[in-house]
A and B are shown apart, each in its own frame.
Chain A
């Protein structure tokens, strides 16, 4: 699904990713943990195609080089980023936005667009699964949403757009335990043999609910250690500093 080789990325002449390698197969869920400033969000931005980075190395998605493909085209090809800080867009109805997005992606895939009624049925079902208040769907996109509501809204979008590669950028931060479980459940019920997940997080607590296949530690722009869920447990105990001193 995703093959990253020796990825370097810099912004304003400051190198943030310094030769990152990772390989994610269909059906796998990888977690990337790391301290502040290690390059986690940069990785998420670079994968989604955000401009402003100088990039070298190779990113292959579904066997093809992503190269200069634009953000919207990547999204249409099934790359989904759940934002760390979902932005507010005043005046834009949450449900309408999602329908526009879904139909854009469906169109790119050569599928039939969804009519308003079927869409409403679908979004109501999915939002119920996530324990979201239906009224939220008719509110302005992310405007006045609580932290938890914003994150749930990201997961709702993920479920509706049905992407191939999901990148969760610190989706767990700022969530209470109930919301965290809801988000984890949203991820678990979306997993299948064909899609892949890259879960970026500071903490072990989300991982407890979603059982990653691999856990990587990102530090100073590189993957410094990879392993199983045990690595996350170890990290939680000894902290990142403990890990470096071992390494």
Chain B
């Protein structure tokens, strides 16, 4: 633990603590042995190992992309741990009573109660700690409806047919450097399957926690909504404060079949680094959903407030006729944080619709880029897209950039794009102050107003948290 420096003077990141827990690690380095180690410790079937190795062979031929706006120092992939798990979790606890109290305590501190009696009402939680899922709540209730909600490592063993059929079907193992890296070394994440015509009765949620140092987290999540089903899923993320940069490279695949709907919300609050830009998470994530069936719908909502660098484009492939893709995003960057985020809407089916609402907020010396692609195919007749990109600047050292790519390959489809850039103005602050609100309350109010259309998309239980987070992330950015 050479890197845990005393940066606890920064009070605004309240999740920055470390859990002192004995862990099992794979030896450092990216090689076949590491992959075999992961596969073996997870008791994976042979086909899964082969799939990983195939990805690894592909990876050797790939280079990291470098077209993004935020640049970062070269990552030494051989100097990372690819697997780290609490020792107590190595034999999978059969019930929550068997979960290490230290882990229960950690999640309690994060506001995620895992014990039976204190569970969040109406929300089932899968808790992922470094490279393993440590607990999943409400499993029995969900099982009664035929819903599968479990760690993906468990699904690989218990539901191999479903995993085999869908994993890599939206993000192929050949996709790009980080996605391929993930396919080779992914450790845990959630698996969700909603059977036909079932409306999932509660929010499903995964809480990702990075704890170990010098460790990359390679989350893999797969959500399948079968015909006529509905699910709302939410993920949250936090990490300790460290002066090293840690990599979180996730792959998330969503599949919606005929008439199915998936609502996927993210509240990302990884450690953003300190005020001088030291430390923080590199959040390099590939999220993609396929509206494979007719009349299907996938809706992404993201509130990105943490990470040193956020680099992700949750996307929708609108294959089914009449399918709908939505992307609602708030990206807040303060101090030296950088974000390059947006979405891709690929229209393939007829009468497909997509909507993009992006709110970027920059403060301090931060840099915020919206990058998006709307691609309406030749056969995607009568399709529509509406895009709105708003940027809000605070102070005069930050930057906001909008890079939209629009391709419309047929004449019956329409694309609309609106973009604005504004500053929080002194008159607004004065007005709020004169009504008794202090500077920080005023900023939080104005920014929440700016983000309203996106915050409204969040499930009720999280909207309030997210609003607070928006305020906290910008503390000290004005005045």
Contacts and interface: CB of A to CB of B under 8 A. Distances in A.
Bound pair (A, B) = yes
Contacts of A140: 449
B431 A83 contact: yes
A224 to B, nearest CB: 28
B437 interface: yes
Contact of B436 (A85, A87, A108): A108
A91 B448 CA distance: 7
A70 interface: yes
Nearest to A82: B434
B446 A104 contact: no
Interface of B: 425, 427-428, 430-439, 441, 445-446, 448-453
A90 B427 contact: no
A91 B427 contact: no
Given A50-B430, A83-B431, A89 B436 contact: no
A48 interface: yes
Contacts of A104: 435-437, 441
Given A50-B430, A89-B428, A97-B445, A75 B450 contact: no
Nearest to B453: A91
A113 interface: no
A21 interface: no
B443 to A, nearest CB: 12
B136 to A, nearest CB: 36
B449 A90 contact: yes
A201 interface: no
B450 A91 contact: yes
Contact of A89 (B434, B445, B451): B445
Given A87-B427, A87-B428, A89-B428, A75 B434 contact: yes
Given A71-B430, A86-B431, A104-B441, A91 B436 contact: no
Question: By DSSP majority rule, is chain B's interface helix, strand, loop, or mixed?
Answer: helix
Contacts of A92: 445-446, 448-449, 452
A89 B431 contact: yes
A108 B436 CA distance: 9
Contacts of B433: 49, 70-72, 75
Contacts of A157: 435
Nearest to A143: B449
Given A48-B434, A104-B441, 15 more contacts: A70-B438, A72-B433, A72-B436, A72-B439, A75-B436, A89-B431, A89-B445, A91-B448, A91-B451, A92-B445, A92-B452, A100-B437, A100-B441, A101-B435, A157-B435
Interface size for chain A: under 10, 10 to 19, 20 to 34, or 35 or more residues? Answer: 20 to 34
A61 to B, nearest CB: 15
A229 B9 CA distance: 61
A100 B450 contact: no
A72, A90, A141: most-surrounded residue (chain B CB, <10 A): A72
A105 interface: yes
Nearest to B451: A91
A49 B432 CA distance: 13
29 contacts: A48-B434, A50-B430, A71-B433, A72-B434, A72-B436, A72-B437, A72-B439, A75-B433, A76-B436, A81-B434, A83-B431, A85-B427, A86-B431, A89-B432, A89-B446, A89-B449, A90-B449, A90-B450, A91-B448, A91-B450, A91-B452, A91-B453, A97-B445, A100-B441, A101-B435, A101-B436, A104-B436, A104-B437, A161-B435
Interface string A88-119: 01111000011011001100100000000000
A218 to B, nearest CB: 21
Contacts of B441: 100, 104
Contacts of B434: 48, 71-72, 75, 80-81, 83
Interface in A123-143: 140-141
B38 to A, nearest CB: 45
B158 to A, nearest CB: 46
Top 8 A-B pairs ranked by shortest CB distance? A91-B449, A71-B433, A91-B452, A92-B449, A101-B435, A104-B436, A75-B436, A87-B427
Contacts of A97: 435, 445
A50 B453 CA distance: 31
Nearest to A81: B434
A127 to B, nearest CB: 17
A89 B427 CA distance: 10
B460 to A, nearest CB: 15
Nearest to B438: A72
Contacts of A48: 434
A81, A91, A92, A100: most-surrounded residue (chain B CB, <10 A): A91
Nearest to A77: B436
